[in-house]
Structure 1
Amino acid sequence: MAAIALTGTAGLAQASEGRTVAPQSVSSIQQAEAQQAARTLLNGPLAPSLTDVERAEMTKIANGETAGASKWSAIRAALSKISGFGKAIGGKLSDFQKWWNGLAWWQKLPVTAISPTLTAVEIWNALH
């Protein structure tokens, strides 16, 4: 899954600057999840912190214009806006769990909009 997820905001900028990305095969369910995550991010409290490039990329995903969009790219984009994400995802699982458990509900919203039952372990594993 880590190959599917874009690497932070730099990944979003590179993708929208015309870099060629290997085609990804995702199911219609995964595409719908990605669209929902992007819409949640665009309409949520983290939206003001998105750059123009990130907003454009999330809008494409939300509108279904990005073939092969991964829900994890939207999740990574949302979580990367929250202070401490880089350290939490780069550290041990226990560090990530402490960080995740300390987040406010609205910070978790883009993730819980996709799947309310996702655990910190599942998120950490998928983003690695």
Structure 2
Amino acid sequence: KKADHDAVDHALERVELTEYADRQIGQLSGGQKKRAFVARGIAQGASILLLDEPFAGVDKRSEATITRLLRELADDGATILVSTHDLHALPALADEAVLLMRRVLIHGDPDEVLRPDNLALAFGLDVLNRGDN
């Protein structure tokens, strides 16, 4: 249907992949694939997006694009749940964070959750001594 084609075109434009519209997914780079999956959610009008490690294997451009898109989708009312070990990207990405280690250790503002003493609960005391958190 025309509406479906228009939704796909709009989604590809939002994720900056219009020039790759005719390529098979297997021909895309890791970052392009991640953006294509976000485009799928956009085209389908998803109100909930669940992403597992969306920045794994992506370049900085794709990371910035994905972060911007997820923030825009959240601002438009979508619910976004992201599982990530990329703690440096978390404050720009999330309004809330949950630190898990077999159970919920802390839930709240990302800056609070990412305090060294809280991270030590999940990753051990060595995180306090490294200074790269």
TM-score (norm 1): 0.27
RCO greater where, 1 or 2, for CA within 8 Å and sep 6 or more? 1
Q: Between Structure 1 and Structure 2, which shows a larger proportion of helix residues? A: 1
Higher strand share: 2
